[in-house]
Amino acid sequence: MLRDLTIGQYVPGDSALHRLDARTKILSAFAFIVLIFIIKTYIGYAWMAVGLMIVVAVSGIPVTFILKGIKPLWLIILITVIINLFFSQEGDPLLSWWIITITDAGLRLAIFMAARLILLITGTSLLTLTTSPIALTDGLESLMFPLKAIRFPAHELAMMMTIALRFIPTLMDETERIMKAQKARGADFESGRLMQRAKALVPLLVPLFVGAFRRADELALAMEARCYRGGEGRTRMKQLTFARRDLYAALLLLAWFAMAIVESYWLMR
């Protein structure tokens, strides 16, 4: 299941979404995340889902591969739905049994939270799936360039964020390998009480942290061997260019976002 996590992975391709400038995709993803928390109607979320499906089709990445990234997080989505469904006291009661009361407001909030998480995971996954780590770093650094006037470490922060995203699938793969190795030695991660399961994770966490520190040390040595000295004086083999297709994509996304906001707030009246 951990292998199914798609956040942080990059799938090479030559689709229209792959060819867009990294800055366009980063700003679009940020606006998409903000819009998810602004919309408060079913039709608004349906509009966002339809638009996201169109973007997925344009990316050329199989839908099954993208949906696979939701599977490792189903437990978090389920817990979020349960908390909002059974512990919301606002609204009119729909079902009441013992100490459990389900209200219309709680049901509505549970559906919205599940939709938000699914759209958030899918939308952010598309950013990393269609943008190489180098382009992502350059795009983040370029967007944070004005902050250098106040001595903000834009390059260092962009590099750290990109490395963190890049190592998510690597750490997930290593976690799965360690779990299989420990199970082959008789470890049990699934049975017993909560404290027993927590103690059973020690043989998993210790080698995982040791491996993570080893990878970090190897990465630091590799960067030092290549004379990496930060962003000062650094050149790029591929320069970021804002082309006409980026302008068209930005206008289409603005129209899509504006329509979603208008429909959402117009229906709330």
One domain, residues 247 and 228: no
158 and 100 part of one domain? no
**Domain presence at residue 105:** yes
Residues (pLDDT < 70) of the chain are 1-8, 87-101, 189, 192, 194, 230-237, 264-269
Q: Which of 142, 172, 162 is nearest to 154 (CA)?
A: 142
Q: Report which of 58, 218, 184, 32 is spatially closest to residue 119, judged by C-alpha positions.
A: 32
The predicted structure's pLDDT at residue 3: 54
For residue 44, give the amino acid letter: G
Q: Is the dihedral of CA 262, 266, 268, 269 positive or negative?
A: positive
In a domain, 141, yes or no: no
The number of distinct structural domains making up the chain is: 2
Domain identity same for 221 and 89: no
pLDDT, position 269? 54
The residue segments making up the domain with residue 83 are 1-131+239-269
Q: Mark whether 215 and 248 lie in a shared domain.
A: no
What's the confidence (pLDDT) of residue 267?
57
Residue 260 lies in a domain: yes
User: For the purposes of burial, counting CB atoms within 10 Å of the CB of 48, is it exposed (0-12), middle (13-18) or buried (19 or more)?
Assistant: buried
Same domain, 213 and 169: yes
In this structure, are strands 100-103 and 93-97 parallel, antiparallel, or unpaired? Answer: antiparallel
| 204 shares its domain with 111 | no
**Same domain, residue pair 88 and 15:** yes
Task: Specify if 5 maps to a domain.
Answer: yes
**Based on the domain organization, do 19 and 124 belong to the same domain?**
yes
Task: Say whether both 246 and 205 belong to one domain.
Answer: no
- Is the same domain home to 107 and 64? yes
Task: Report the alpha-carbon distance of residue 9 to residue 166 in Å, rounded.
Answer: 7
- pLDDT tens digits for range 76-121: 888 888 777 776 666 666 666 666 667 777 778 888 888 888 888 8
Would residue 137 count as lying in a domain? no
**pTM passes above 0.85:** no
